[in-house]
Amino acid sequence: MKLTITTKQIALIAIFSALYSVIRQIPMGPMIGLSTTFSVSDCLAPIYGIVLGPYTGGTSVLIGTFLAMALGKPVSFMGLDFLPAFVNAVAIGFLMRKKWGPAIILNLTLLAIFIANPLTVWFYNVSLGSLKIAVPFFWLHIVALVVLISPLGYKAGPWVKSLKPVFMAVGIAILAFIGTMMQHLTGNILTELIRVQITGIMTPETLSTIVWPTAFILYPWERLTLVILAVIVGVPLVKALKTTMFPFEDKGPTKIAKQDNADTATAQ
């Protein structure tokens, strides 16, 4: 069957790609072990998935990242800088469409790849008085996976769609938490694969003795900050866009123009 992309989808991608590229220039803090910084755009990735869906949202993040590079944003992962936020937006877009399975499979796959890499440190000893407890480096990723698999992961999307402020805030927080942890996993994988194993910019010793121990302490606070920002930005933005012109659904490329018109009429 012939697949086409609607004019509305093209317009949305153009607008939100440009917005993403500009906001990506705004720094938020240094990335551990990398010669670049977090940007405010990192809190937008789950919102793009919520508002635009997996296809339009993911494409907007991808194009917006390359536009940001063209505007001078440093390249960190050999041109794959788009991938962490892209994964975030796509996964949350699927959850908003009640496509629970693809999001779970993607999360499990990323976690398995990260754990299987020999550069990944599995445990760190945490001192509690005289006790030393071995805590998994990826403990918060396990928590995020449990939240995703639980009813909370399925209900978060409908809570956002309810447009009730409290439910919206909780739903966006859950979705942003799931998405930002998947984004973090993707960034970790790229760090190990590209910066250590392919380019050798970072040594395995630096990764294991400096980067991962520091990240173990700081990454939960980084992720919490991104979730809070996503809620602060997302609640009014999602409500405003939903009540004006943008749907919560992204049906992907449509089959025929007639179907596009029928869907538009139904939405109205």
> What's the chain's Rg over C-alpha atoms?
19
Range of the domain at 97: 7-259
Residues 137 and 202: their CA atoms lie apart, in Å, by 20
Strands, E, within 70-223: which ranges? 123-128, 131-136
Residues 92 and 103: their CA atoms lie apart, in Å, by 8
**Collapsing DSSP states into helix, strand and coil, what is residue 248?**
coil
Residues 63 and 86: their CA atoms lie apart, in Å, by 10
Residues 106 and 91: their CA atoms lie apart, in Å, by 8
pLDDT at residue number 259: 39
Q: Are 26 and 40 in contact (CB under 8 A)?
A: yes
pLDDT per position in the chain (268 positions), as tens?
A: 445 667 888 888 899 999 999 988 887 766 555 545 667 888 899 999 999 999 999 999 999 999 998 888 878 888 898 999 999 999 999 999 889 899 999 999 999 999 999 999 888 887 777 788 888 888 999 999 999 999 999 899 999 998 898 999 999 999 999 999 999 999 999 999 999 999 888 899 998 888 888 888 888 998 899 999 999 999 998 888 876 655 555 555 544 334 334 433 333 3
Residue 266 forms part of a structural domain: no
Q: What is the pTM of this model?
A: 0.84
Q: Are 65 and 56 in contact (CB under 8 A)?
A: no
Domain count, the chain: 1
Identify the residue whose tokens are 């977090």. 38
Residue 264 forms part of a structural domain: no
**Collapsing DSSP states into helix, strand and coil, what is residue 38?**
strand
